[in-house]
Chains A and B, each alone.
Chain A
């Protein structure tokens, strides 16, 4: 069974204090891995798709990387508006293209 573990569950940072979120997965035959941002009570907002080990993608203060066993979301010099829950979701093989979601990391950035 596919497993996805995100750590830490919660993270508090000061504005400008860079850090990384981890997503470990045991999906065999990975076809891709999604990263999302979710604000309370709202739908997840798509950030990135990574397809192969070694791939990196960036968007503003966020950079996502992928290895064969895990993915990292690096947040550089975060601002309070980066506060949200960040979700990762790997996609396994098969005819469907449906991701399995981790529980998320709740990030709070203090001014």
Chain B
């Protein structure tokens, strides 16, 4: 089954404790991206990747890092999380014609 998976689905952490949210796709897509979704603000892009080792900033990249060492994986790293990064995060992958989203990771930073 073609899908985008994210882990963990839910995470509660404390300010400053580094964390990684994993994302994997099994569709051999070149494009992958991370979004955050907040009430009243909609989906905002954090980072995107056009291929292995090629990443670029989206609209709200501050406080986040990504890497694309393999085509199927695109982890999101928060080196020092802060409460304003509490949000619902989505990973997505695309072949340029269709874009598919993961189930989301709900992150709470206290």
A interface residues (Cβ-Cβ under 8 A, vs B): 32, 34, 36, 41-46, 49, 87, 89, 95-99, 101-104
A46 to B104, CA, bound (A): 15
Asked if A87 and B43 sit within 8 Å, CB to CB, the answer is yes
Asked if B45 and A98 sit within 8 Å, CB to CB, the answer is yes
Sample (8) of A-B pairs whose CB atoms are under 8 Å apart: A43-B104, A46-B99, A96-B31, A96-B50, A97-B94, A101-B35, A103-B40, A104-B42
Known: A46-B99, A49-B98, A96-B56. A41 touches B104 (CB 8 A): yes
Q: Which residues of B have CB within 8 Å of A36?
A: 101
B interface residues (Cβ-Cβ under 8 A, vs A): 4, 31, 33, 35, 40-45, 48, 50, 56, 58, 88, 90, 92, 94, 96-104, 106
Known: A87-B43, A98-B45. A34 touches B99 (CB 8 A): yes
A36 to B43, CA, bound (A): 12
Known: A42-B104, A43-B90, A44-B101. A98 touches B42 (CB 8 A): no
User: Is chain B's interface secondary structure helix, strand, loop, or mixed overall?
Assistant: strand
A31 to B41, CA, bound (A): 24
Q: Nearest chain B CB to A84's CB is how many angstroms away?
A: 14
Known: A98-B48, A101-B42. A49 touches B97 (CB 8 A): yes
Q: B56: nearest residue on chain A (CB-CB)?
A: A96
Q: Nearest chain B CB to A22's CB is how many angstroms away?
A: 16
Tell which of B33, B100, B104 touches A98, judged by Cβ atoms closer than 8 Å.
Answer: B33
Known: A98-B31, A98-B58. A43 touches B101 (CB 8 A): yes
Tell which of B44, B48, B96, B103 touches A42, judged by Cβ atoms closer than 8 Å.
Answer: B103
